[in-house]
Amino acid sequence: MIHQISSQILDVTNIQEILHTNAKLELSAEAIEKISACRAYLDKRLQDQKTPIYGINTGFGSLCNVKISDEHLSKLQENLVTSHACGTGDRVPQEIIKLMLLLKVQSLSYGHSGVQLQTVARLIDFYNHDILPVVFELGSLGASGDLAPLAHLSLPLLGKGSVYYKGKEVPAAEVLAEFNWEPITLKAKEGLALLNGTQFMSAYGVYSLLKAYKLSYYADFFAAISLEAFDGRIEPFNDLIHLIRPHNGQLHTARRIKAFVEGSELISQEKKDVQDPYSFRCVPQVHGATKDTLAFIRKTFETEINSVTDNPNIFIGEDEIISGGNFHGQPLALALDYLAIAMAELGNISERRTFQLVSGLRGLPAFLVNNPGLNSGFMIPQYTAASIVSQNKQYATPASIDSIVSSNGQEDHVSMGANAATKAIKVVDNVERVLAIELLNASQALVFRAPLKSSEFIETFLQMYRAEVPFVDEDRELHIAIRDTLSFIQDMVIENEVLFD
């Protein structure tokens, strides 16, 4: 499959498709024309104009008033990339690096950045051949773009730095030699075009958002299984309640839960308890609020990944080169903090349902095991979920309200969006673990409701799940059951029309 880079909108659904089909990239004729025309305009402008133009024939940051002679413009760009490769800490996951390449190519394709066509083509070559630059998590303030991470992304263009290739981390120069590729000689403005941009934050955000949508679906589904196992009531999911408080996510969640349990013997049996705890009764309100938050975050990121975020920007038709601040990551920082908070709440309420299931209520055995006392059963998985939920609360502290001065005072307000991004993904991964623990507990509890059955949909799912994670008759190493549950849900594929509806 080929995905053509053009001015058409790139959204989370086609990114999901690009990733799942391992599509190759190519530039459209329109993108080639825009990139080439912009470069030609810039070359002519440099030839005709001798006054300083920021980042093109000047220094960078607080050195913006230092004029650079024409013969040193290429070296200036090379020095920029090399000197800014100051990342440290853990390595960025390869899936996110690949997204960074895709999003950087998309941003450069609009013809406002002044890059050479061969530079963009080489980035596409890296993507298509799974040559992934080694990038580090720490180093970006999320304001002058993601400078340090994008410098590491760009180093291999020059034959510098390291890349992942064929399962190994190797010097970029070796891979270029294998393909008979000469290092790119950067021209004026190119280093800044490569380094100014929000592709580190954006890639983390898109990756986390795609996973968050999947976990939002699982949160509803596992809540429905827990509701059945707890012998909960269906009335809180009646449309009438939600139509008089018509938040989209709330109404959608209630309808989804009802669909999951449709035809269940358990949900239709007479109930002894008049009301359920909030963690069951308020699933539409809590899960729904997260859904509405994801919709806002999706809009923010889809706007960002279809934007030009380097500096300065070149406008051929208007004969303008304008230095501004499109690299500032504040919209993303706020959205990423919001993502962490919203997803943390899915984990929070999930852990409360797990707590209710192991508490020996409504005819369920304490800790969901035969012979409690002799067996500890599911006592400690709830501890594990509780510890993860509390860690998420710590990770959900906003990064976007922070700032620190850099570049000798020139860059005096920064977004901290990169820190928000690396925190948000930790929260999302943690929520996956908490939801896996809920599924483990709910499926165990449901066995004690036999001979009554849940819906055909839930029973069919649990039959597949039990083939991977058997019922716990007596104490065993439950970390293995949690690990296998995680693998089971990670391997499941949810169609886009369900995932993003």
Which sequence positions are flagged as catalytic?
54
H or E, element range at 133: strand 132-133
49 conformational bin, left if phi > 0, alpha if psi -120 to 50, beta if neither = beta
Upper half-sphere CA count for residue 70 (Cβ side, 13 Å): 8
Q: How many residues would you count in the chain?
A: 501
Strand partners, 2: 24
Structure tokens that stand for 112 in this block: 């406002």
Structure tokens that stand for 260 in this block: 């999951």
**Tally: H helices and E strands in the chain:** 20, 9
Backbone angles phi, psi at 182, to 5 degrees: -80, 145
- Tell how far CA 297 is from the center of its chain: 11
Backbone angles phi, psi at 220, to 5 degrees: -65, -45
DSSP state of 319: T
Strand partners, 133: 163
* Measured distance CA(106)–CA(98) in Å, rounded: 13
Cα distances from 124 to residues 9, 130, 165, 250, 499, in angstroms, run 18, 10, 15, 42, 29
CB-count burial class (<10 Å; 0-12, 13-18, 19+) for 501: exposed
